[in-house]
Structure 1
Amino acid sequence: MYTVTVYAKPLGGIAGCTRVYPDILQAVDKVFRNAKGSVLHDFVVTHIGDRVVSLLVSDGDVEEVIKEAYAVGEEIAEKRKLFKNPAAETSVSLTFEERESEAFVLFLAGSSNNGFWNGLIPKGENQAASAASLMLCRTEGEFCTTAELLETFADESVSARGIAPVSLCDSSIVRTKVTPVVALGFSLGNGMLTGPLDLFDTPLFDAPRFRASQQ
């Protein structure tokens, strides 16, 4: 039985809440790397806008190591006097017996709206969890395929909400009426992660991106 926990918190942004400072990501990553093999089975540190996002695989409590890692990041942000976004921290988690082939997708949104994922989150039992800027979805097997899940974000009704499926490198917060969404794909085997794949980093989502940008 493994728990996949995703935690997101703005620590310090460049040019407001546009994008996280890279040194902060590296510092948070270092703390988790030191905990790998004890508290953590595996982890990935990423971002959306100015939020530092950590995906942690464990079979125990990860609260203390998260607190330690983000405190280091906050110290860097304070020294450089980076913008402190007042948005609250966000976390989601799923606990499950690992399947023979365990696939899941982590969605990151440049939004702090708790209702952002309404109409987008799958409803299968123990398939998905969401909160504000985060959505974690298991795929394949008894669940929908990864492609079926991503297809949702190509729908015109989603584009009409200003939701733009973008690559991680294009996830800066630069529009008020357009919300970037990133999709990162993973496989999990024996508690170890393979990935992420930057799933929206393809011209197949150019049309939805363009429609969303017209809002």
Structure 2
Amino acid sequence: MKVTLSVIKADIGGFVGHSDSHPQCLVRAEKHLAEAKKNGMLIDYHITKCGDDLQLVMTHQKGINNKVIHEMAWDTFVSCTEVAKELKLYGAGQDLLCDAFSGNVKGMGPGVAEMELEERPSEPIIIFMADKTSSGAWNLPLYKMFADPFNTIGLVIAENMHDGFSFEVHDVKESKGISFNTPEEIYDMLVFIGAHSRFAIKSVSTRKGEIAAVSSTQKLAFLADRYVGKDDPVCIVRAQGSFPAVGEILEPFAQPYLVEGWMRGSHNGPIMPVSIEDSTPTRFDGPPRVTALGFQLSNGMLIGPRDMFKDKSFDNARQKSLDMADMMRSHGPFEPHRLPLEEMEYTTMPQVSKKLAGRFKPLED
């Protein structure tokens, strides 16, 4: 059975500040998606949140980039924004960069990750959602899942994974894309994906072309030409069979790593794996969070979810994240906690530089 899995998210208003999503917004979203399922538009759906981001997980048979599905998601976000405004939630509708739907939510603010797949006899799916970080936050874990044998032993000992994978990488600043085959092009690929503020892994496929993972790569600041918060990306990963096992997919998050985002989207900090319940960033509006929901697809139905990071075996990763947060916070407004200047172009930095331009004098030899 061919199924499309669409994960579309938006920050439609924070409760309190940028820390959480209000239950009434989730209730309003439930009303819209229940109606869409009743009308046959959706096979199934699940509504959740990660921090202050509303997450719509949907299955259907209309393919990716479908206007009907995207318009329904957009209308849901608009309706939930009305609730947010009534409750005076913070930043109500901040991810909705346009006044009206124009055929596809890509480029309009919401984050989108979609894949069309032929459902296997057993189809485990992991959906990752992040808050207070940017679209390149998946580069390191996706590399580890699909190209690092120290993380994924299946690359070495599983015959159906031994040929490696193909990575589609997007230059989010120049709107260009390139594909790399691993393992033979690992070194070339790392030149780019190590610069996660500009280059983001969009998708991963087997060498035979079967989709394995897909992420959202929308860069809000580039879309809006102003600071509108961080991108808070989502990512879908298929598990088992020709793909990494569930444990191999989750393993990259056992070692915290630094991402850009955090307070005012202008700081580097550790991304911390947490349960849905604990995706409530409050310390310096952070530190950045990542959640993981596991589903089994069954004829398009979402069996689950299982809250994968609720597992106590990630407690050590959480403690390491907190220790790293302490270290990074000690730098205050200095790099490397604050982002480098080239990443501050959508803050007040350009205005300050312009105001003081006449006070910079040439240095004498």
TM-score range, shorter chain: over 0.9
Deviation (angstroms), 1:120:
1.1
What residue in structure 1 maps to residue 88 of structure 2? 81
What residue in structure 2 maps to residue 30 of structure 1? 31
State the one-letter code of the partner of 1:173.
Answer: P
What residue in structure 2 maps to residue 129 of structure 1? 214
Q: Which has the larger radius of gyration?
A: 2
- Distance in 1 (alpha carbons) for counterparts of 2:8 and 2:140: 22
What residue in structure 2 maps to residue 108 of structure 1? 129
- Distance in 2 (alpha carbons) for counterparts of 1:55 and 1:117: 19
State the one-letter code of the partner of 2:299.
Answer: N
2:280 aligned with 1:167 = no
Identity, % of aligned positions: 30
- Distance in 2 (alpha carbons) for counterparts of 1:12 and 1:157: 27
Of residues 117, 120, 135, the one that matches 1:99 is 120
- Distance in 2 (alpha carbons) for counterparts of 1:206 and 1:80: 35
- Distance in 2 (alpha carbons) for counterparts of 1:15 and 1:5: 28
- Distance in 2 (alpha carbons) for counterparts of 1:183 and 1:8: 14
Higher RCO by CA contacts (8 Å cutoff, separation 6 or greater): 1
What residue in structure 2 maps to residue 19 of structure 1? 20
Between structures 1 and 2, the one with greater strand share: 1
Deviation (angstroms), 1:161:
5.6
What residue in structure 1 maps to residue 241 of structure 2? 141
Deviation (angstroms), 1:35:
1.2
Which deviates more, 125-134 or 6-15?
125-134
Deviation (angstroms), 1:156:
5.4
- Distance in 2 (alpha carbons) for counterparts of 1:202 and 1:105: 15
What residue in structure 2 maps to residue 72 of structure 1? 79
| Conserved? CA contact 2:8–2:113, under 8 Å | yes
State the one-letter code of the partner of 1:186.
Answer: F
Alignment partner of 2:310: what SS? coil
Between structures 1 and 2, the one with greater helix share: 2
| Conserved? CA contact 2:131–2:288, under 8 Å | yes
| Conserved? CA contact 2:257–2:270, under 8 Å | no
State the one-letter code of the partner of 1:59.
Answer: Q
Deviations 1:120-178 (A, max 9, x none): 11444111111252111000111001111111111255799612110100001223462
| Conserved? CA contact 2:124–2:238, under 8 Å | yes
Residue ranges of structure 2 left out of the alignment (5+ in a row): 96-108, 147-164, 166-204, 206-210, 217-230, 260-267, 325-365
Q: CA RMSD in A?
A: 1.9
Deviations 1:159-198 (A, max 9, x none): 9961211010000122346211101000001111101100
| Conserved? CA contact 2:257–2:271, under 8 Å | no
Change (3 A) 1:39 1:127: same
State the one-letter code of the partner of 2:89.
Answer: L
Deviations 1:103-133 (A, max 9, x none): 1100111134121111111444111111252
- Distance in 2 (alpha carbons) for counterparts of 1:17 and 1:209: 21
Change (3 A) 1:33 1:103: same
